Amino acid sequence: MRIVIAPDKFKGSLSASEAASAMADGVRLAGVGADIDVCPMADGGEGTIEAVVANIGADQRQAKVRGPLPGQEVLANWAYVHKNIGSAESGLIVTGETTAVLEMSQASGFCLVPEDRRDPMTTTTFGTGQLIAAAMDAGCNQVIVGIGGSATVDGGTGLAEALGYKFLDDRGNVLPGQGSSLGLIRKIDTSGRDPRIVSTRFLVASDVDSPLTGAQGAARVFGPQKGASPEQVDELDRGLANLGRLIEEQLGVEVLDLPGSGAAGGLGAGLAAFCGATIASGVELVAAITGLASRIKGADLVLTGEGSYDSQTARGKTPAGVAAIAKEAGVPAIVVAGRIAQETAFAGLTSFCVLPGPVSLEEAMENARGFVVTGTARLIRLIAAFLASS
């Protein structure tokens, strides 16, 4: 039996590489003599760089950039891909380009903001813009930006500010690129824009297809978890609507109805408008980089997974994307998880819980690797027993 193992991280307990290794050990523990191909995956959020480095041996680099908070500096990792990652199986990535893979969460992420300092009115994506500049400084002419895990609702204005754009109010004053400025912008000044943007190809790896504004938009869905009060949510939503209209009127880029424009607090819209980026499924992009589709062809089974399999999984998360690729290849896929929510029963994906019985969240996370190993072994033995009896 040939098995491809392609999980996402088990958030808070195992990275994607650690989860894949534990699942592989579980297959070996089952004693079925399988040929195992380990392919850690991601969907544009935290762990995307690690998945790329683990699969294709890219160089991991660092840049000192501004963090999401005022006055904050952070060391952000990014991946310099020194090999040809173009693939005939996907038209997403151009063959022969020098490619950078960035995570906005490294520079502007939720993980960088203490709980008592969450404030999407003042947090900024400026550091993500600095990461893009660092990639262009290194000669990269294809930049893939994973935009999961943001601490911001600035519509990408901070990123644009770092790349030379200016945002002016009705008196011509320059506004900082942050959430509180969005409703005050009246002009987008492109005169100082970094000229390298025009000759660089940008791709956005997103795990959500949220619109920029409205009930499902950046402010209303994600603003509260980033610290926004109900009043601030209303202000941010109006501000994003203002920015979206100005982008369409002054830059000629339609973002208000663009799927994924609301991802990462409107950074999807910002990258499309200020960098000419194409927004794509994060898991499809990572799959294209890692050659997942070709690795799945001819396999007997695909194991994917994440810590909690719930209603969000089907909305662009890694297990759903991996399962879709497996289905197209005619290979069965199983989602291995520590928690399986009741609402997933009819979601169309086969799933298996690795826990042996009722276990507290603390115990499950503390002993995650052991549970994944033994749970995967039980799953493989069940499959082997079924095959032997059929």
Q: Judge if 161 and 66 occupy the same domain.
A: yes
User: The whole model's pTM is what?
Assistant: 0.90
Q: Judge if 159 and 267 occupy the same domain.
A: yes
Question: Range with the lowest mean pLDDT among 88-92, 104-108, 236-240, 287-291?
Answer: 88-92
Question: Range with the lowest mean pLDDT among 48-52, 60-64, 103-107, 120-124?
Answer: 48-52
* Mean pLDDT value across the chain: 92
The predicted model gives 183-199 an average pLDDT of 97
Would residue 290 count as lying in a domain? no
Q: What is the dihedral of CA 20, 90, 96, 286, to 10 degrees?
A: -30
Q: Judge if 88 and 135 occupy the same domain.
A: yes
Of the chain, the percentage scoring pLDDT greater than 90 comes to 76
Would residue 291 count as lying in a domain? no
Q: Judge if 262 and 186 occupy the same domain.
A: yes
Choose the final residue of a domain: 250, 283, 316. Answer: 283
Cross-strand bridge partners of residue 20 = none
User: Confidence class of residue 85 from pLDDT cuts 50, 70 and 90?
Assistant: low
Q: Judge if 309 and 259 occupy the same domain.
A: no
Q: Judge if 247 and 348 occupy the same domain.
A: no
What confidence tens digit (pLDDT) does each residue in 36-63 have? 999 999 988 888 999 988 888 788 999 9
Q: What is the DSSP string of 346-375?
A: GSS-EEEE--SS---HHHHHHTHHHHHHHH
State how far the Cα of 244 lies from the Cα of 257, in Å rounded to an integer.
9
Dihedral sign, Cα of residue 235, residue 275, residue 216, residue 48: negative
Q: What pLDDT does residue 192 have?
A: 97
Contact, 262 vs 268, CB < 8 A?
A: yes
Would residue 289 count as lying in a domain? no
Question: Range with the lowest mean pLDDT among 118-127, 204-213, 239-248?
Answer: 204-213
State how far the Cα of 339 lies from the Cα of 10, in Å rounded to an integer.
10
Query: Which domain range does residue 57 map to?
Result: 48-283
Choose the final residue of a domain: 283, 316, 333. Answer: 283
Would residue 315 count as lying in a domain? yes
What confidence tens digit (pLDDT) does each residue in 334-378 have? 999 999 887 776 567 899 999 998 889 899 999 999 999 999 999
Total domain count, the chain = 2
User: Confidence class of residue 310 from pLDDT cuts 50, 70 and 90?
Assistant: confident
The predicted model gives 67-89 an average pLDDT of 82
Dihedral sign, Cα of residue 113, residue 117, residue 121, residue 124: negative
Q: Judge if 87 and 21 occupy the same domain.
A: no
Token couple for 351: 């799933």
Q: What pLDDT does residue 79 have?
A: 93
Q: Judge if 150 and 193 occupy the same domain.
A: yes
User: Confidence class of residue 267 from pLDDT cuts 50, 70 and 90?
Assistant: very high
Would residue 292 count as lying in a domain? no
Choose the final residue of a domain: 230, 249, 283. Answer: 283
Q: What pLDDT does residue 94 have?
A: 63
Name the residue with tokens 């499809």: 284
Q: What pLDDT does residue 377 have?
A: 97
User: What is the CATH classification number for the domain harbouring 112?
Assistant: 3.90.1510.10
User: What is the CATH classification number for the domain harbouring 14?
Assistant: 3.40.50.10350
Q: Judge if 130 and 158 occupy the same domain.
A: yes
Q: Judge if 76 and 169 occupy the same domain.
A: yes
- Amino acid symbol at 151: A
Would residue 197 count as lying in a domain? yes
Q: Judge if 246 and 97 occupy the same domain.
A: yes
Q: Judge if 180 and 311 occupy the same domain.
A: no
Tell whether the model's pLDDT for residue 227 goes beyond 80. Answer: yes
